[in-house]
Amino acid sequence: MESHFSLTPATGSKLFQPTAGALAVQVPVVQFDENNATVLEIFGQHKELVSLPVVERQRPIGLISRHIFMSQMSKPYHRELYERKSCIAFMDKDPLIVEADTPIETLGALAVASGDKTLADGFIIVDQGQLAGLGAGLALMRELVAMQEEKNRQVMQSIDYASVIQRAMLSASRAAMTEALDDACLVWEPRDVVGGDFYHFEAHPGGWFAAVADCTGHGVPGAFLTLIASSALKQALELHGPHDPARLMRDVNRSMKRVLGQHGQSGKPSESDDGMDACFFWFDRATRTLTSSSAKMPLFLLVADGTEVLTIEGKRVGLGYVDTPDDMQWDNHSQHLAPGAMIFVCTDGVIDQIGGPKHIAFGKQRLRRTLLEHGKLAMPELGRVVMDIHAHYQGTQRRRDDICFFGVRLDAAHQDSQHGTQA
């Protein structure tokens, strides 16, 4: 099936005329009664296509995400099972659909309300119910920024609103952590109003999963990237579950490179080179095993007797960058942890901060010493002590980066009472 489409907006880009129609890009479509073989063919012909609208007489009824579709079809026997079945099998039946004359501000609010999938997979734009094109979450972000550059007041209002959005995005993880863990600390402190660090936490019947990540930059650019990365992580968790952090790393890397167009293809220079450092980890309560995978972000373990801090460095390759291969493999590291052991993970805003009498970085050694000296404190108090020591070390130096860290002390008694299982 041969399809022809343009990567330029169908209605023409009008920077300061903020309507959804300016973001409409003509893309191939698939009829609702066609099968998954057709979908596979279209995605094969158009490598840059993020999502595929499903239409019935030019009226859109759903959206097929390349990431989800290709992940499903690559599973053993799924191609044989689903290739001849209707394309609606993997279709999102409730994508965001907006009229072309929808104001950009309204579209932004609708995109936030509809969830992370809109930012990752895009949204459908219609003209009196007929398909006008596909809009991209990244294009929407760029349009919002372009509009706001005209007036500084509008920029600041938007940044304040973005802070509300970013904090709302993180609030579910904080609430889940508070409910699941008895002795934990979580600090998220952007350098500016919004930031490029984020965290994620999920409680499961057999244990819990956590992630700490540091996206390129800080402020508004970093915050935009956290939305993309957080969405990619949530999709990977839905597809694969929490037990294999290295696999999640691979999936998030591919997803970020695809969304940002950072494949490093010969003759096609990328307009950006953004990505993130991260640490993903799963704790299994039954075996008391911590399984972690790290991309340029160390994980610190204070042993149960408080006499030693172990450092798990992970792989020195970040996620999503142009130079990071699509098929990059990260490794899992497993460690049995006794009751009373402590896990601590932080972004480089903690370690790289310049300060002290010699004007050098805070460093891992100073952080390890802080954990050793104050490791017997309750975790919330330890979090405050770490921030106080860090602020004192920074002194009059300018804050270099966002700060985010997560710490938890493993308490068998609490886990038994909370979940009714033996540790």
CA-wise closest residue to 208 among 186, 228, 192, 224: 186
SS3 103: strand
For the chain, how big is the Rg over CA atoms in Å?
A: 23
Residue 381 phi/psi, 5° resolution? -70, -40
The sign of the CA dihedral 265, 271, 273, 275 is negative
Q: Which tokens hold the place of 147? A: 């509009």
Residue 311 CB: number of other CB atoms within 10 A?
Answer: 13
Task: Name the architecture of domain 20-147.
Answer: Roll (3.10)
Residue 360 phi/psi, 5° resolution? -120, 170
Q: What is the DSSP letter of 90?
A: G
Q: What CATH code would you report for 162-419? A: 3.60.40.10
Name the H helices within 75-151: 78-82, 104-114, 116-121, 137-148
In angstroms, the CA 18 to CA 21 distance is 9
Which residues neighbour 342 within 8 Å (Cβ) at sequence distance 6 or greater? 301, 302, 371, 375, 379, 407, 408, 409, 410
CA-wise closest residue to 11 among 102, 86, 141: 102
Going residue by residue through the chain (423 aa), what tens digit of pLDDT does each one get?
Answer: 333 333 344 444 444 568 999 999 999 999 999 999 999 999 999 999 999 999 998 899 999 999 999 988 888 988 888 888 999 989 999 999 999 999 998 998 898 888 888 888 999 999 999 999 999 988 898 887 777 666 666 667 777 888 888 888 899 999 999 999 999 999 999 998 889 999 999 999 999 999 999 999 777 888 889 999 999 999 999 999 999 999 999 999 999 999 998 876 555 667 778 999 999 999 999 999 999 999 999 999 999 998 999 999 989 999 999 999 999 999 999 999 999 999 999 999 999 999 999 999 999 999 999 999 999 999 999 999 999 999 999 999 999 999 999 999 998 444 433 433 222
CA-CA distances (angstroms) from residue 142 to 95, 114, 359, 403?
A: 21, 19, 37, 26
Contact 393, 366 (CB under 8 A): yes
pLDDT (0 to 100) of residue 5: 34
- Domain edges within the chain: 20-147, 162-419
